[in-house]
Amino acid sequence: MTITRPVAALVVVTVALIVAAGIAQQDPQPQETETLSTASYPLFAVDDSGVTGQLQIVEQAAGGTELILSMVGIEEGRTYPAAIYVGSCGPDRPVYLELQPVGFANDPFVSITESELSFADLTEGEYFVYVFDGDTIDRPETEGLDVPALACGEVGLGAVEGQP
């Protein structure tokens, strides 16, 4: 018995379809990937300092957050201390989280702070960030320390569009 070319081709195509169907059934369903959250908050100049910026909060897969503070209007080669405080922009607020100084490492206009605080801890509270012109952050509990702020921005639920 001889097999004609059209029949041979049909057999080959049929076998290929059967093999492909079997492989498709063996492939596991794609895993759902977890989406990590980010939030960005603007910082505005204080007292015509000309310094502005942005704080980006990035949720980390292993837990915690990374806080990236980018500044405009500062001098390259200097460091600028920064911190997050409880409440809204203003004096005498408790320090919530001290940030790496801008210009300390990495890019001279950026600071990166790794934190164990969750994304929700930072974005669901009412906080603000100050960037200072000096060697340290303002600590309201330390009498007599008054460090001039260059920029301020609301963070979390208290954040509003526009200047604070």
What range defines the domain where residue 84 resides? 38-156
CATH number, domain containing residue 118: 2.60.40.200
pLDDT in tens, the chain (164 residues): 555 554 444 444 444 445 445 544 554 555 566 788 899 999 999 999 999 999 999 999 999 999 999 999 999 888 999 999 998 877 778 899 999 999 876 678 999 999 999 999 999 989 999 999 988 888 877 765 678 899 999 998 867 544 44
Question: Is residue 7 included in any domain, yes or no?
Answer: no
Taking residue 117's Cβ as centre, other Cβ atoms within 10 Å add up to 16
24: Cα within 13 Å, side-chain hemisphere: 6
| Domain tally, the chain | 1
Taking residue 75's Cβ as centre, other Cβ atoms within 10 Å add up to 11
